[in-house]
Chains A and B, each alone.
Chain A
Amino acid sequence: MYDFTYQKPASVADAVKLLGADPEAKALAGGMTLIPVLKQRLNKPSALVDLADAGLAGISVAGGTVRIGAMTTHATVANSADVKKAIPALAKLAGGIGDKEVRHRGTIGGSLANDDPTADYPAAVLALGATVETNKRSIKADDFFQGMFMTALEPGELITAVSFPVPEKAAYMKFPNPASRYALVGVFVAKGPAGVRVAVTGAGQNGVFRQKAMEAALGKSFSQAAIADIATPADELNSDIHAGAEYRAHLVGVMARRAVAAAG
């Protein structure tokens, strides 16, 4: 690892100031992605700005919305009685990320800012029609994800929280890569204020995406049968050593039907 200076500001305002003053500085959350990247010398920040003391951790539920602070760990979300009650699918998703040591450190803000095409949270944010809050603005899920490892965040802009509208029902099913637990294919299905939404992670060449044909069919009849014949075109899906695009396309259907069954 190249060396860097380390700072731990006590507020979001101070963190934004530090990041704004130095274009080579980078935010540090749980470090579960950033530290391995630094070890490989794929990135050479001048400074790391640790968000641990910036007051960004915590969960609140009010007015049909679950609001999760950016620095809230996956373990906290998975074990939260409030989240389990309001959006059980979200707690279950968080409890299925990586392993428990990763869940003790990794955060929702870090996961979304990183936007790994095989990460779990992007599927929940897109399917639930959540809003990503930053130090500057609120970004709708449909505008936030812009391709593999690409989001609407501007340089130096920090995610502060994510607000999830509580759905009528929802479920997430993932076919995990057996080694890393990242999603080979993960499908989040939700029926809520924004209608039925189906988001697919792990499969798309451009990261998380909505399966709109399935959304339309489930909007008419929320049942496994309604989507039994809906195929997902393989030409925009990933092929790699873990799975080919055709197999991923097949898995999207299987995971979507299982998610519909689990949502009930």
Chain B
Amino acid sequence: MPQVALTVNGKKVTVDVEGRTLLVELLREKLGLTGTHVGCDTSQCGACVIHLDGASVKSCTMLALQAAGRSVTTIEGLAKSDGTLHPMQEMFREHHALQCGFCTPGMVMSAIDLVQSHPEGLSEQQIRHGLEGNLCRCTGYHNIVKAIAAAWPLMHGKTMPAAAE
């Protein structure tokens, strides 16, 4: 059986997998990191979004072996060891950006990538477009958009440039 060595949430792991094992299966079933969800399993819903070397990707549409040697961050890897939440998690809580919570891990991972890749600021329109790969059946998205806008200044350590708002 092939083995895959990668870094997950800062820890190096080596795991036995099959060729066909998906990255999300490795995370959930082999490593017990069940924060990453499977919603559609057809690459549409974004519940399975994780970071691969910092970029958001759908872990249901990647083989575990494709992640060899790479660094994966899941929702479990965001909070500090003392339990302090990541600013994006904190803003999701503050702005009531979740109801059932099923989409939330993927939303948060996707949102962090969106904010990090837009140091010049983000308009509401850009936030909505940036969430095209994430479906939520509960919230209607408004509070998710608010939470992301509120996390931007916290993550960049300055106020959002006015032009972007």
Q: Which residues of B contact A180 (CB under 8 A)?
A: 44
B41 close to A39 (CB less than 8 A): yes
Q: Once the chains bind, are A4 and B20 in contact (CB under 8 Å)?
A: yes
A-B contact pairs, 8 of them (CB 8 A): A3-B19, A4-B20, A5-B19, A32-B43, A39-B42, A100-B110, A102-B133, A179-B44
Residue B2 CB within 8 A of the other chain: yes
The residues of A that contact B113 with a CB separation of less than 8 Å are 100
Verify A6–B58 contact, CB threshold 8 A.
no
Q: Contact at B130–A100, with CB atoms within 8 Å?
A: yes
- Whether B65 sits at the interface, judged by CB under 8 Å, is yes
A104, B19: Cβ atoms under 8 Å? no
- Docked-complex contact A102 and B43, CB < 8 angstroms: yes
Q: Is B66 on the interface with A (CB-CB < 8 A)?
A: yes
> How far apart sit A260 and B18, CA to CA, in the bound complex (Å)?
50
Contact B19–A181 (Cβ < 8 Å): no
Q: Given A6-B2, A32-B43, check contact A105 B19 (CB 8 Å).
A: no
Cβ of B101 to closest chain A Cβ, rounded Å: 20
Q: Which of B7-15, B29-37, B49-57, B82-90 forms part of the interface with chain A?
A: B49-57
Q: Which residue of A lies closest to B42 (CB)?
A: A36
What is the bound-complex CA distance between A31 and B68, given in angstroms?
Answer: 15
Q: Are B114 and A100 in contact (CB under 8 A)?
A: yes
Cβ of A75 under 8 Å from chain B:
yes
Give residues in A with beta carbon < 8 Å to B.
1-6, 8, 28, 31-32, 35-36, 38-39, 48, 50, 52, 75, 98-102, 104-105, 179-181
Q: In the complex, which of the residues B2, B18, B19, B58 contacts A101, with contact meaning CB atoms closer than 8 Å?
A: B58
Chain A residues, CB < 8 A from B46: 99, 101
Residues on A with C-beta less than 8 A from B52 are: 104
A105 to B41, CA, bound (A): 16
A105 near B61 with CB under 8 A, answer yes
Q: How far is the CB of A5 from chain B (nearest CB, A)?
A: 5
CA distance A98 to B46 in the complex (A): 12
Q: Is the CB of B19 within 8 A of A99?
A: no
- Complex-state Cα separation, A3 to B57, whole angstroms: 23
**Are A35 and B133 CB-contacts (below 8 A) given A5-B19, A100-B56, A100-B113?**
no
A50 touches B114 (CB 8 A): no
Q: Please, which residue of chain A has its CB at the minimum distance from the CB of B56? A: A101
Bound complex: CA A28 to CA B49 (Å): 20
Knowing A31-B63, A31-B66 are in contact, say whether A1-B20 is a contact too (CB < 8 A): yes
In the complex, residue of chain A having the shortest beta-carbon distance to the beta carbon of B113? A100
Cα–Cα distance between A83 and B133 once the two chains are bound (Å): 24
